[in-house]
Amino acid sequence: MLTLLKLLKDGRFHSGEALGAALGVSRSAVWKQLQHLEAELCLPIHKVRGRGYQLVSPLVLLDANEIAANAPSSAWPVYISESIDSTNAQALRLIDAGIAAPFLVLAEQQAAGRGRRGRKWVSPLAQNIYYSLVLRIEGGLRQLEGLSLVVGLAVMQTLRESGVQAAGLKWPNDVLVGQKKIAGILLELVGDPADICHVVLGIGINVNMQSADDVDQQWTSVQLETGGPVNRNHLIAKLGLQLQSYLDRHRASGFAALQEEWELNHLWQGRPVSVIAGLNQVDGLVLGIDGQGALRLSVDGVEKVFSGGELSLRLRDDS
């Protein structure tokens, strides 16, 4: 399937005969693959008798050389897959295989993309960014404090630099535009966090997705917000530069040095919310976060602190 996309990605017309010859299949097999691209991958194709087939919009596939050329100072080794279960899962397998960190895992499509709390992350082919950066962490727990929030700042700044000026943060791991989700973050840890470990910084960004039937929450994409298609390689390069900058600051000064910046960009700062953990719910007013990245709430006039990857934060109806 990726071979056919590479033939069509230039946006020009290609005859069924030429496509079949390049793929080593019959014209009818080409026709079936084209139908699959349209029906299952949501890639509209023009069909003109006498001229052949053409993608409605040119397609830019992931390219490690193009990413490195646009961000040479953050050119981590890159592993690109056409389709895998998830980039985080692949990153964990590469850690087990002894691949030295840092390295970056990307995919054109995920069959089992994951968000926080086991949620599915919708991952259509060649439309969005599915990104997992693996780091080796030495020096103990201080290097992990507030790390997911630091990644959120880097993603938010990347989106703003790309024209999504309204991008903001939602504790702990989401980037929103208004009430619509545009990016999410999932961190996974391997090893001893008190000594030496590996952390996988999993990032999903809706880039050129314009429709999706099986997303269970409000969402948007960079293209929907800016009005035009985005080169994902350039966006990945920008993200790498922002991540390197924020990770360097975090490593040098700890999360407390970034706490104020994060609070200034928290869309729900000062708003009434509910923190939900299983069947338990606590209502309060968002005061901010502490030096470790935990959420500070005013609950009946008393400050309480909440942390943990299984918590869900929602705006209250009276907000």
The catalytic position among 51, 142, 271, 314 is: 314
Q: Which residues pair with 202 in a beta bridge?
A: 132, 186
Q: What are phi and psi of 48, to 5 degrees?
A: -125, 120
Asked if 116 is an active-site residue, the reply is yes
Q: What are phi and psi of 217, to 5 degrees?
A: -155, 165
- Asked whether residue 127 is marked as a ligand-binding residue, the answer is no
- Asked whether residue 284 is marked as a ligand-binding residue, the answer is no
Shortest CA distance to 245 belongs to which of 67, 73, 78?
Answer: 73
- Asked whether residue 251 is marked as a ligand-binding residue, the answer is no
Overall residue count recorded for the chain in this entry: 319
- Asked whether residue 232 is marked as a ligand-binding residue, the answer is no
> Which residue, chain included where needed, has tokens 């981590």?
76
- Asked whether residue 81 is marked as a ligand-binding residue, the answer is no
Contact call for residues 53 and 14 (beta carbons, < 8 A) = yes
- Asked whether residue 316 is marked as a ligand-binding residue, the answer is no
- Asked whether residue 110 is marked as a ligand-binding residue, the answer is yes
Contact call for residues 229 and 139 (beta carbons, < 8 A) = no
Question: CA 282 to CA 125: how far, in whole Å?
Answer: 39
Asked if 238 is an active-site residue, the reply is no
The catalytic position among 170, 181, 232, 238 is: 181
Question: CA 224 to CA 228: how far, in whole Å?
Answer: 7
- Asked whether residue 70 is marked as a ligand-binding residue, the answer is no
44 by Cβ neighbours in 10 Å (0-12 / 13-18 / 19+) ranks as exposed
Asked if 181 is an active-site residue, the reply is yes
The catalytic position among 116, 170, 232, 238 is: 116
What residues act catalytically? 116, 181, 314
Binding residues: 86-88, 110, 114-116, 181
Binding residues for biotin: 86-88, 110, 114-116, 181
